[in-house]
Structure 1
Amino acid sequence: FEREITPVTLPNGTIVSTDDGPRDGTTVEGLSNLKPAFRPDGEITAGNACPLNDGAAAVMVMSDTKAKQLGITPLARIVASGVSGLNPEIMGLGPIEAIRQTLARAKMSINDIDLVEINEAFAAQVIPSAKHLNIPMDKLNVHGGAIALGHPFGMTGARIMATLINGLQHEDKTFGLESMCVGGGQGMAMIIERLS
């Protein structure tokens, strides 16, 4: 993940070049002993939900004309995007319709997509999304999702995009799809084509 992180030098000279995740020392036994987070009889624990991380990001989006004027080689281009709305009580399933919409706008199928990044607010949300959309598991969050890497509120979309582009470059693939749910009852998705 070195290509996704810009080191920051603190006033005392310490260089910060890693984040808090993945959680060191995590074991299956430790995960199985975690208490439910929301309801006494619930299934969601700190082990199958993403940790809240901090972070900052900057993303540059411009037309191909402007990129040529500035002499910039784009990393990727936006092929299509989509937004969906649904009942906030099932907000975790927002990616399903947003991805369907985005694939239709791009005139593509999930088989045309090389890598998929879905923000893992909870494992219970990503698994049904993948099943409903027939996303092969070997294409999904191949470098780990938010449960492993963290969920830096405010920059999660940028983090997912950086991870997706990095994955496409590393695997020498072309088309990537990113998606996330939104707490108020939305889903968002975008397909990109790697250019460099």
Structure 2
Amino acid sequence: MTAFIPYGAYWSTPFARWQGSFAHLHSIEFAAHVTKSALAERDIGVEAFDFAAYGLTVPQYRSFYGTPWFTAMIGATHLAGPTVNQACATGARLLSTAMGEMATSGVQTALIASGDRTSNGPHAYYPAPDKPGGTGIGENIVMESFNRDPFAKCAMVDTADNVARKVGITTEEQHEVAAYRAAQYEDALKDDRAFQKRYMAAAFAVPDAGFRKTIKTLNGDEGIYPSSPEKMASLKPVMPDGSVTFAGQTHPADGSAALVVCATEDRARALGKPGGPIIEVLAVAQGRDDVAHMPAAPIRAAHRALDLAALTIDDIDVIKSHNPFAVNDIAFARAFDLDWKKMNNFGSSLVWGHPQGPTGLRALIEMIEELEIRGGGSGLFQGCAAGDSAMAVILKVR
């Protein structure tokens, strides 16, 4: 089954480095606040939707109510839907979820949205009445998830070091990728952020926690560090005997993103910008790599997506990745005999940060806009996720 994305019926907030300008905002309430405004700007009423799904990876106060709460806050009290969590692959999983509903339940128009706040992550306590004294265990959900895979028994950065060792990737190569990705991001800022303004507000009004007033304005992403080869060269690997430095990995962030998905081309035309291209989703696939080798998992997911779409990598015009580590892009390029410099034009999560749930949605949106600029073609998004897993999406813009 295929699906269609109305051109322009998508949006993303800027991404703000954690403990930054969005750190005080409840992620679900914030996503609803942004979505109401974005739908109004596009003249899309909530009655247009017969399905919704919300992606969340960091629990928030009352997040048990998930999607029904989100849809109620935007005025769509007729929509229920699942709340989705597949760590960093949540964006692609949301798309797959919507397409599944179209195939099995006759859904015609879906709203998929995600918002996460890695800042001020919750601290959970789990009672254990069978333990001595009934003492339970606690966890810092964000920090401990980054630092300890309960099955692989290692941190996420260890998985990048493992792939680097296996493939033979040096620190110097990782720094070269990081510097190049920073330059690509600068292309999105040219002409007064012309590229980003295709899907992001020119000046984003940051609300207070009660969403009553604006407390500041963001002109693009917050917390982007300028690339400096000299500074990168002075960095030591994060882990003993490793090769990944802080320059070769992304930073946690806060933000939200969303897009509309339709079952038919006619419906997508009706909701998209007049005269815009047709965006068809050709395939969505997942993959999982060896234990503690997370950055290599997108290779398997991409192979599966290409097979489903009856395409080869040579048929792909634009490649976008969720690259929490520079290792991701080097390993992927080697597996497909590609030049990694041809991937991730206009930016990637290695530079603009990683709020988890919305990360993949923003990458998909940027891929659509790059394809539109070049006059159409096929695009492949791929990205890894916790548990050595990954997802891949193939789109065609015509």
> Which runs of no fewer than 5 residues in structure 1 stay unpaired?
none
Which residue in the other structure is 1:152 paired with?
355
Q: Which moved more, 1:155-164 or 1:70-79?
A: 70-79
Tell me the SS of whatever aligns to 2:256: coil
Q: Is the Cα–Cα contact under 8 Å of residues 75 and 165 in structure 1 kept in the other structure?
A: no
| Aligned amino acid, residue 51 of structure 1 | H
* Aligned residue among 218, 232, 254 for 1:16: 218
Q: Is the Cα–Cα contact under 8 Å of residues 83 and 186 in structure 1 kept in the other structure?
A: yes
| Aligned residue pair count | 192
Change (3 A) 1:21 1:142: farther
Q: Which moved more, 1:124-133 or 1:6-15?
A: 6-15
Alignment of 1:1-196 (within 5 A): 1-6=196-201, 7-10=203-206, 11-12=213-214, 14-20=216-222, 22-24=224-226, 26-37=227-238, 39-64=239-264, 67=267, 71-73=270-272, 76-195=279-398
Change (3 A) 1:48 1:75: farther
Deviation of residue 151 (structure 1)?
1.8
Q: If the length of structure 2 is used for normalisation, what is the TM-score?
A: 0.45
Q: Is the Cα–Cα contact under 8 Å of residues 204 and 220 in structure 2 kept in the other structure?
A: no
Deviation of residue 65 (structure 1)?
5.9
Q: Which moved more, 1:173-182 or 1:134-143?
A: 134-143
| Aligned amino acid, residue 44 of structure 1 | V
Deviation of residue 125 (structure 1)?
1.9
Q: Is the Cα–Cα contact under 8 Å of residues 115 and 164 in structure 1 kept in the other structure?
A: yes
Deviation per CA, 1:116-160, whole angstroms, max 9, x where unpaired? 011111011220111101234353112232222222211111011
> Which runs of no fewer than 5 residues in structure 2 stay unpaired?
1-195, 207-212
**Larger Rg belongs to:** 2
Change (3 A) 1:109 1:65: closer
Q: Is the Cα–Cα contact under 8 Å of residues 284 and 391 in structure 2 kept in the other structure?
A: yes
**Partner Cα separation in structure 1 for residue 267 and residue 348 of structure 2:** 31
Q: Is the Cα–Cα contact under 8 Å of residues 330 and 340 in structure 2 kept in the other structure?
A: no
Bigger RCO of structures 1 and 2 (CA < 8 A, at least 6 apart):
1
**Partner Cα separation in structure 1 for residue 230 and residue 344 of structure 2:** 24
Percent identity at matched positions?
27
Change (3 A) 1:98 1:44: same
Q: Is the Cα–Cα contact under 8 Å of residues 376 and 396 in structure 2 kept in the other structure?
A: no
Q: Which moved more, 1:83-92 or 1:142-151?
A: 142-151
**Partner Cα separation in structure 2 for residue 171 and residue 22 of structure 1:** 27
Deviation of residue 8 (structure 1)?
2.9
Cα RMSD, aligned residues only: 2.0
Q: Is the Cα–Cα contact under 8 Å of residues 289 and 300 in structure 2 kept in the other structure?
A: no
Deviation of residue 21 (structure 1)?
5.1
Q: If the length of structure 1 is used for normalisation, what is the TM-score?
A: 0.88
Q: Is the Cα–Cα contact under 8 Å of residues 179 and 188 in structure 1 kept in the other structure?
A: yes
Q: Is the Cα–Cα contact under 8 Å of residues 318 and 371 in structure 2 kept in the other structure?
A: yes
